[in-house]
């Protein structure tokens, strides 16, 4: 060994866990500790006196002259290069080099430490690959993707979100999520994120929510929002995936309209076909009963009973027909249809059923009016059948932002009713509300009323 080392210094260098290489100013190796033998597979006997260039590939090396110049100029060198083992295999190394001078200030030796960072580089490559894949998914997803902080402020958004809502990226960053939602959804999102941090609070994280989106130009359209919560570097962020449901809703409306048309056809067949036949049979039976009675035939009472049963069947068929045939909203309007519904319910059930309205409540869109009517019809029938209510109040109202219909009853309360019986009806009501871009709320009020409320935004894109 050409370098003067004390026994203790030599012992330390021999046992250090990093590879330690000492060269002279020409680049020939003068010291080689045991860790290097594990890294490069050369023994001390094989490597002492050899040029250091034997340890790195031609494509990766920093010429030793340049290494020395850099060390002299900057005092040290630090970098990451491939090293070459005795068997020709390459290994990633973290390399640090420092120039040592003798007592006269003349450059004497170069001390180099090396550390195998192959596993670190492998991990970095995997992380980089995952990052590239995640960025590709984020940037190229057809669904809008947002990242948000725990206050619901937008941290980042992908191109699909920009295209969907009509904002540029700078306009969205830092804004609250509820700027992308109309009333009433914008209000319900306030505090939504904090609620998910509180035990016992209603969670929406991990659930797909069908709500409404609000574009920059003010147009409203149906969306599906899915939120997930992620703990990242001791902080919590949310990821929101938003899907445009406009096409799906249009298909659903077409399917529902086909169903309504089939209901109308069956209703007309009952009224014009079966109804007319039953009416004819009833009239013939009544005439026959009169003739038999005039002749004193005892069986005239049996014929009269048959006529009575046919009359009941005729009335039942007409009732079915009225239920199946679409409510004549085009001629009389939603307001009149709801008034008549309340009168009919009061007459049949002997329950006080009252209708009120406020604002400009007439709706030009016939399909929308029909959905509202069916929602009220289902809610009122539920109250009659399941709540034990004595009073039912229906209220239709409208303002500049939304149209709402509220059904209150003083029955036992929703939580005490048979949910198995009511479940499908409630789901149908929610579906109808969603078709209009609205929402159904079912709550127990402070006045001990069960309240079913449907809210529909007025600025929804054309409903058809």
Q: Which tokens in the block code for residue 105?
A: 């200030």
Same domain, 73 and 20: yes
pLDDT at 414: 56
Nearest in space to 334 (alpha carbons), one of 377, 298, 391 = 377
Q: Domain boundary residue among 246, 273, 296?
A: 246
Comparing 3 with 353, the larger pLDDT belongs to: 353
Domain assignment present for residue 129? The answer is no
Lowest-pLDDT range of 247-251, 266-270, 430-434: 266-270
CATH number of 384's domain? 3.30.565.10
Same domain, 198 and 279: no
Q: Inform me whether the pLDDT recorded for 181 exceeds 60.
A: yes
Comparing 331 with 67, the larger pLDDT belongs to: 67
Domain assignment present for residue 170? The answer is yes
Domain assignment present for residue 463? The answer is no
Cβ 112 vs Cβ 67: under 8 Å: no
pLDDT at 328: 55
Q: What percent of the chain has pLDDT over 70?
A: 83
Structural domain range at position 231: 134-246
Average pLDDT, the chain: 81
Same domain, 48 and 109: yes
Q: Which tokens in the block code for residue 21?
A: 């290489």
Comparing 317 with 26, the larger pLDDT belongs to: 26
Comparing 318 with 439, the larger pLDDT belongs to: 439
Q: How confident is the model at residue 391 (pLDDT cuts 50, 70, 90)?
A: very high
Same domain, 16 and 90: yes
Domain assignment present for residue 377? The answer is yes
Same domain, 225 and 260: no
CA 375 – CA 382 distance, rounded (Å): 11
pLDDT at 402: 82
Q: How confident is the model at residue 321 (pLDDT cuts 50, 70, 90)?
A: low
User: CA dihedral in degrees (285, 286, 289, 291; nearest 10)?
Assistant: -110
Cβ 81 vs Cβ 58: under 8 Å: no
- What's the Cα-to-Cα distance from 220 to each of 107, 214, 370, 453, rounded to whole Å? 76, 5, 21, 20
Same domain, 147 and 32: no
- What's the Cα-to-Cα distance from 400 to each of 134, 141, 142, 460, rounded to whole Å? 43, 36, 34, 12
Orientation of helix 366-382 relative to helix 329-349, angle to 10°? 0
Domain assignment present for residue 127? The answer is no
Domain assignment present for residue 317? The answer is yes
Q: How confident is the model at residue 416 (pLDDT cuts 50, 70, 90)?
A: very low
* Average pLDDT estimate for 51-66: 70
pLDDT at 331: 57
Domain assignment present for residue 25? The answer is yes
Highest mean pLDDT among 31-40, 202-211, 366-375, 442-451: 31-40
Q: Domain boundary residue among 63, 98, 122?
A: 122
CA 379 – CA 399 distance, rounded (Å): 23
Q: How confident is the model at residue 244 (pLDDT cuts 50, 70, 90)?
A: very high
- What's the Cα-to-Cα distance from 439 to each of 175, 405, 448, rounded to whole Å? 24, 11, 22
Q: Domain boundary residue among 324, 356, 389?
A: 324
CATH number of 77's domain? 3.30.450.20
Same domain, 89 and 164: no
Same domain, 95 and 145: no
Lowest-pLDDT range of 204-208, 238-242, 291-295: 204-208
Same domain, 451 and 338: yes
Same domain, 198 and 276: no
Domain assignment present for residue 30? The answer is yes
Comparing 362 with 115, the larger pLDDT belongs to: 115
pLDDT at 33: 92
Lowest-pLDDT range of 43-57, 279-293, 389-403: 279-293
Same domain, 108 and 198: no
pLDDT at 104: 79
Comparing 71 with 241, the larger pLDDT belongs to: 241
Same domain, 269 and 370: no
Q: Inform me whether the pLDDT recorded for 344 exceeds 70.
A: yes
For 120-161, the pLDDT digits (tens) are: 999 999 999 998 998 899 999 999 999 998 888 999 999 999
How many domains would you assign to the chain? 4
């Amino acid at each position: 060994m050409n370098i003067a080392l004390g026994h203790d210094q030599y012992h330390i260098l021999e046992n250090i866990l990093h590879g330690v290489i000492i060269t002279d100013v020409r680049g020939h190796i003068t010291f080689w500790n045991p860790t290097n033998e594990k890294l490069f597979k050369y023994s001390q006997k094989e490597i002492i006196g050899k040029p250091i260039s034997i340890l790195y590939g031609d494509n990766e090396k920093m010429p030793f002259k340049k290494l020395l110049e850099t060390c002299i100029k900057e005092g040290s060198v630090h970098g990451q290069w491939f090293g070459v083992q005795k068997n020709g295999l390459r290994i990633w190394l973290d390399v640090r080099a420092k120039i040592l001078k003798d007592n006269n200030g003349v450059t004497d030796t170069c001390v180099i430490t090396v550390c195998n960072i192959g596993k670190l580089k492998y991990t970095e490559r995997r992380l980089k690959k995952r990052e590239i894949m995640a960025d590709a998914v984020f940037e190229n997803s057809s669904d809008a993707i947002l990242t948000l902080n725990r206050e619901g402020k937008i941290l980042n958004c992908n191109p699909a979100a920009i295209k969907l809502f009509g904002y540029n990226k700078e306009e969205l960053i830092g804004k609250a999520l509820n700027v992308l939602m109309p009333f009433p959804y914008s209000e319900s999102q306030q505090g939504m994120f904090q609620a998910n941090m509180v035990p016992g609070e209603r969670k929406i994280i991990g659930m797909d929510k069908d709500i409404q989106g609000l574009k920059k130009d003010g147009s409203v359209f149906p969306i599906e929002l899915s939120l997930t919560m992620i703990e990242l570097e001791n902080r919590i962020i949310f990821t929101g995936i938003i899907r445009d449901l406009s096409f799906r809703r249009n298909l659903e409306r077409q399917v529902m309209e086909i169903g309504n048309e089939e209901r109308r056809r069956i209703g007309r067949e009952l009224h014009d076909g079966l109804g007319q036949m039953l009416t004819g049979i009833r009239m013939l039976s009544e005439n026959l009963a009169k003739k038999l009675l005039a002749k004193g035939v005892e069986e005239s009472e049996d014929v009269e009973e048959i006529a009575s049963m046919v009359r009941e069947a005729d009335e039942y068929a007409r009732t079915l027909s009225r239920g199946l045939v679409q409510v004549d909203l085009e001629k009389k309007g939603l307001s009149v249809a709801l008034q008549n519904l309340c009168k009919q319910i009061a007459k049949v059930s002997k329950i006080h059923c009252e209708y009120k309205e406020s604002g400009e409540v007439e709706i030009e869109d016939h399909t929308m009016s029909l959905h509202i009517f069916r929602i009220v019809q289902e809610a009122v029938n539920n109250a009659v059948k399941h709540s034990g209510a004595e009073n039912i109040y229906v209220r239709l109202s409208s303002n500049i932002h939304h149209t709402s219909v509220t059904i209150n009853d003083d029955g036992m309360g929703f939580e005490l009713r048979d949910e198995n019986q009511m479940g499908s009806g409630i789901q149908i009501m929610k579906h109808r509300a969603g078709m209009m871009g609205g929402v159904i709320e079912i709550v127990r009020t402070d006045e001990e009323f069960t309240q079913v409320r449907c809210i529909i935004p007025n600025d929804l894109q054309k409903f058809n």
